[in-house]
Amino acid sequence: MNKIDLHTHSNFSDGTFSPKELLEYAKVKDLIAVALTDHDTIEGLEEGEYIANNLGIEFINGVELSIGVDSKEYHMLGLMFNRKCVGLQKTLDILQAQRKDRNMEMVSLFRKNNVNINYEDLESTAKGGIITRAHFSELLIKNNYAKNSKESFDKYLSINSKTYIKRSMFDAKLAIETIHNAGGISILAHPYRYNLNSTEIEELIIKLKKMGLGGIEAIYSSHKPSEEAFLKRLAKKYNLKISGGSDFHGLNKPDIDLGDGFGNLNVPSDVLKILKE
């Protein structure tokens, strides 16, 4: 039925599938197009595109950036950009360096709090990919500081934990411009995951639209039908495109399946057709 998925993670960030495994799985799931949208990195795209081409799946360049608006963090997807764009690559280098600084600071904070983890083990947990709190969680579980990811986040990694350090936030306008200058489209990811009510979501979208936002991720694993419908109405009202994806993370989010989300996700291929117009 021509399904697609425009929000997925590989082991180049906090997913567990390699780009090759992800695309091979997309073939099994009968998807006709997939965007790989790792956090703050485009390193997996070349492998993804190569495998997708061999399998006859349309491959979409993607990335998921953490952005700041009024000192709160939101996620912005970049889709369909030219990954050779030097401006984009330079921006990602800066974001990755900021991440590394923050992660190293967090490790020393953990050690001060008698949780003996080290940066080298964190690096091996991430297997060379972007290190996120998901990898901290994995390492804490491995070293018996937590039983599962819920406990590791509740105890150590959530915003209110004393071992949590906020990442420096990337200016939203700059993020949108960087994506557009690379020929891509900027999409506000999962608008219902920021603890905002409908009015606040609309206000956020108005703000981002003024900065040049291109679209909203209206179709998403955890969206209720009413939420999807509301976001589609907002898209129409503010002349924004819509996107859709599962936010697949492999075994790191085992309940979310590629293309299917929690079971009834359906991103039709028309979404991509319109995004390209």
Measured from the CB atom, the residue of 52 and 106 that comes closer to ligand AMP is: 106
Strands 58-69, 72-79: parallel, antiparallel or unpaired by DSSP? antiparallel
167 touches Mn ion by CB under 5 A: no
Give which of ligand AMP, Mn ion, none residue 153 binds (C-beta under 5 to 8 Å, depending on kind).
ligand AMP
**Which position among 18, 132, 178, 243 is part of the footprint of ligand AMP (CB under 6 A)?**
132
133 touches ligand AMP by CB under 6 A: yes
153 touches ligand AMP by CB under 6 A: yes
136 and 156 in contact (C-beta within 8 Å)?
yes
256 backbone φψ class: left, alpha, beta (φ>0; ψ -120 to 50): beta
Give which of Mn ion, ligand AMP, none residue 133 binds (C-beta under 5 to 8 Å, depending on kind).
ligand AMP
Torsion sign across C-alpha atoms 94, 100, 102, 105? negative
134 touches ligand AMP by CB under 6 A: yes
38 touches Mn ion by CB under 5 A: no
Taking the complex as a whole, the smallest distance from the CB of residue 191 to ligand AMP amounts, in Å, to: 16
**Which position among 247, 256, 272, 275 is part of the footprint of Mn ion (CB under 5 A)?**
247
241 touches ligand AMP by CB under 6 A: no
CB atoms near residue 263 (< 10 Å): 9
DSSP string, 217-241: EEEETT--HHHHHHHHHHHHHTT-E
Comparing CA positions, the residue from 111, 121, 188 lying closest to residue 156 is 111
- One-letter identity of residue 39: H
Taking the complex as a whole, the smallest distance from the CB of residue 7 to Mn ion amounts, in Å, to: 6
CB atoms near residue 209 (< 10 Å): 18
Binding characters for ligand AMP, 29-58, by CB under 6 A (x = yes): ----------x-------------------
Restricting to residues 194-233, which ones interact with Mn ion according to CB under 5 A?
Answer: none
DSSP string, 124-143: HHHTTS---HHHHHHHHHHT
14 touches ligand AMP by CB under 6 A: yes
261 and 255 in contact (C-beta within 8 Å)?
no
**Which position among 149, 181, 198, 222 is part of the footprint of ligand AMP (CB under 6 A)?**
149
Q: Which stretch binds ligand AMP (CB under 6 A): 127-135, 205-213, 227-235, 256-264?
A: 127-135
The footprint of Mn ion on this chain (CB under 5 A) covers a number of residues equal to: 5
Restricting to residues 67-126, which ones interact with Mn ion according to CB under 5 A?
Answer: 75
Comparing CA positions, the residue from 241, 229, 263 lying closest to residue 77 is 241
How far CA 92 is from CA of 99, 179, 219, in Å, comes to: 10, 11, 26
95 touches ligand AMP by CB under 6 A: no
Binding characters for Mn ion, 9-28, by CB under 5 A (x = yes): -----x--------------
Comparing CA positions, the residue from 96, 99, 143, 98 lying closest to residue 118 is 143
CA distance 30 to 2: 8
Residues at the site binding Mn ion, with contacts judged by CB under 5 A: 14, 64, 75, 189, 247
Residues at the site binding ligand AMP, with contacts judged by CB under 6 A: 14, 39, 66, 132-134, 149, 153, 167
